[in-house]
Amino acid sequence: MAAANGVGVSLPDLFDLSGRTALVTGASRGIGALAARALDDAGARVILCARDIGRLREAGQTLRNDPIAMRADLSDRQGVTSLLSDLAGYADHVDILINNAGTHAAGEAMELAPDVWDEVQNVNLRSAFLLARGLAPAMARRGWGKIVNMASVLGVVADVDASAYVASKAGLLGLTRALGTEWAGRGITVNALCPGWIDTDMVSDLRSRDSFDRRVLRRTPAGRWGRADDLTGALIFLSSHASDFMVGQTLIIDGGLTASW
């Protein structure tokens, strides 16, 4: 494990996560499963969390550093509380929190049911706050912690039929700045990643529509959909000493979508 403070750390140690423990929410598939593998590759022990325990165990199978799978429904406040209590034996050691679990509800705003709105906010935004709040005190006691919030380009720009999702991700970027500012002096950095369109289950319906697929390819200067592993470098950067002086910021990884007109 590298020193408690990133100053003077050698180049390989900047990204070394040996001896660290990371909690990844939404790790049963897609970006979260890839994040779990990347953190494991960098040396961390990973706690994988989502609702589908079978898929969590499957995702953990190829990891080397004694992974742990924990079931939790993060749409529910009680679900988050239970997860924090299940983590009790490990929580004192969670150095890295990846708030990645997310859900999307397509629908025209005038017709969006309030319960659907609530569910999206609860998974995408409230659970991120509650987990950060639950795990930060131990990080502060150790003087080092990393919180990475998986936002979206739809937290920066909007699209039609996505009001609940857009609001939740914009809220997550605000939360990133707020917690980053509040906790930077205690050695905890809070930053966000904003992926563009990444080919996962979440967007498989959209991708199967020719018109949507063409729109993504036309709007993305890189000329392709992203892959979950396009996020690996940024994720390890934000989870390691390499980002110790980066506070409340957002890295956008979208093949140029938001950089272009």
Summarize as ranges the residues that interact with ligand NAP (CB under 6 A). Answer: 26-32, 50-52, 55, 72-75, 100-103, 123, 150, 152, 195, 197-198, 200-203
The answer to whether residue 90 is catalytic is no
160 Cβ neighbours under 8 A, 6+ residues apart: 108
Q: Which is nearer to ligand NAP, 28 or 243 (CB)?
A: 28
Nearest distance from C-beta of residue 246 to ligand NAP, angstroms: 20
Q: Which is nearer to ligand NAP, 21 or 152 (CB)?
A: 152
Q: Which is nearer to ligand NAP, 83 or 188 (CB)?
A: 83
What is the spatial order of strands in the sheet that 94-99 belongs to? 68-71, 45-50, 21-25, 94-99, 145-150, 188-195, 250-253
Nearest distance from C-beta of residue 220 to ligand NAP, angstroms: 11
Q: Is 17 exposed, middle or buried, given 0-12, 13-18 or 19+ CB atoms closer than 10 A?
A: buried
52 Cβ neighbours under 8 A, 6+ residues apart: 28, 29, 71
Nearest distance from C-beta of residue 140 to ligand NAP, angstroms: 25
Dist CA 259 CA 99 (whole Å): 25
Residue type, 129: F
Catalytic residue among 15, 117, 144, 165: 165
Nearest distance from C-beta of residue 102 to ligand NAP, angstroms: 2
Catalytic residue IDs: 165
